[in-house]
Structure 1
Amino acid sequence: MLKAELRKEYIQKRKALSSDEAFLLSEKIFNNFMRHFNPKEREKVHIFLPIPARNEIDTKIFIHYFLEHKIRVFVPKVAADQLVNIEIFADSIFEMSKWGIPEPVSNEDSGEDYFHYVITPLLYCDKNGNRVGYGKGFYDGLFQRISPETKKIGVNYFDPDVSVDDVWENDISLDYLVTPTKVLSFFKGLE
């Protein structure tokens, strides 16, 4: 299927979830992530902040755990049409962006280009790690700037069932997908 069709379909599927369903599925995704990856103290995780109006995965579950366990947390913020990486702490202050995304008040880019994990928002991911987002290309740009050793991990309520037909040259695929039921690896020989 084409990205535009998948985007439309999965926006509707996500909207159909109740807030209770979305929260329970988010908890299952978090538990699968922890079982498979189990980040350690001082490791660095880049993670998106959820847009409540879009019923995104509740990554606040992840963030609270990471901060409590001294795992360094970085979140994206759009500044000058590019994602910057801002380190957050338990006392960080947030404001709503024009897109309805909670963002840190600070604009200070951490300068980090190595993360152990980048937990990536998406609407859909196929069985080859091809991601369909909102179509702005922010994460493809981020993936080009960070260390190739960083694990690029998508999180989604839904398992993949069809291929993305219009993968472009600049699209960077994910390394893993975490859903409520499984963790998919897009490396040959790993699961």
Structure 2
Amino acid sequence: MTKAELRITYKKKRSQLTETEINSLNAGLLQQLSKFDWKDVHYLHTFLPIAKQNEPDMWSFITNIKIYSPAVHIVVSRSEPKDHSMKHFLLEDRIELAENAWGIIEPMEGETIAETALDVVLVPLLVADKAGNRIGYGKGFYDRFLAKCRPDCRKIGISLFDPVEKIEDVGPLDVPMDIIVTPRLIYTIS
């Protein structure tokens, strides 16, 4: 299937999940993410979920990291719609967060962190294929962002759904994931 077909299919699938199903899937994601060893990670970038889109709930993961891996610095982004870029901020207790026009909770200001400082980026996705290619919302924010990260930065896609076999129209600017985490399994891309 193409990106456009998969985007329509998986947005619909995600929108049809019940609250009970979402809670169960989020619990599975948290369990899978708890299997990672975060001790060598200094800066971990995560997304803040769009609740109305039934995106994976990363708040529980953030809480776990703060409790069990307090040396890890959590980084979150603010979208810059004018140029489809992202600006990254250290997630501190005192940081002011606000909802943007797309329903994304974002930092207003704070200590900025360069893409090259990031050790791991957790990437939201609707679905991915078995080669690590991802389907997001189609604006290219994450591909532009990930292209600026160090080559050794681990890119971990977070999805409520298992990967599909293949995305037909992967482009040269698409940045594949190194790992896909789903509520059932962790897929390491070779």
Same fold (TM over 0.5): yes
| Per-residue CA distance 1:74-101 (angstroms, 9 max, x = gap) | 0111134311111111232211101110
Task: Tell which deviates more after alignment, 89-98 or 1-10.
Answer: 89-98
Deviation at 1:117, TM superposition (A): 1.2
Q: Map residues 1-191 of structure 1 onto 2, 5 A cutoff.
A: 1-35=1-35, 37-40=36-39, 43-68=42-67, 69-70=69-70, 71-79=72-80, 80-81=82-83, 82-106=85-109, 109-187=112-190
| Per-residue CA distance 1:90-146 (angstroms, 9 max, x = gap) | 232211101110111216532341322100011110111010110011111111111
Task: Tell which deviates more after alignment, 4-13 or 83-92.
Answer: 83-92
Preserved contact between residue 129 and residue 173 of structure 1 (Cα < 8 Å): yes
Residue segments in structure 2 that go unaligned for 5+ positions in a row: none
Preserved contact between residue 67 and residue 89 of structure 1 (Cα < 8 Å): no
Deviation at 1:42, TM superposition (A): 6.2
Residue segments in structure 1 that go unaligned for 5+ positions in a row: none
Deviation at 1:27, TM superposition (A): 1.8
Give RMSD over aligned pairs: 1.5
1:142 aligns to what SS in structure 2? Answer: helix
Find the aligned partners of 1:106 and 1:159 in 2 and give their Cα distance.
35
Find the aligned partners of 2:20 and 2:42 in 1 and give their Cα distance.
31
Deviation at 1:10, TM superposition (A): 0.1
Letter in 2 for 1:155: I
2:177 aligns to what SS in structure 1? Answer: coil
| Per-residue CA distance 1:14-48 (angstroms, 9 max, x = gap) | 0111123212211211211221x221276211000
* CA shift in 2, pair 1:143/1:54, >3 Å: same
How many residues are paired up? 186
| Per-residue CA distance 1:127-172 (angstroms, 9 max, x = gap) | 1101011001111111111111111000111112331000001111
Find the aligned partners of 2:165 and 2:9 in 1 and give their Cα distance.
12
Percent identical: 34
Find the aligned partners of 1:181 and 1:24 in 2 and give their Cα distance.
11
1:134 aligns to what SS in structure 2? Answer: coil
TM-score (norm 2): 0.92
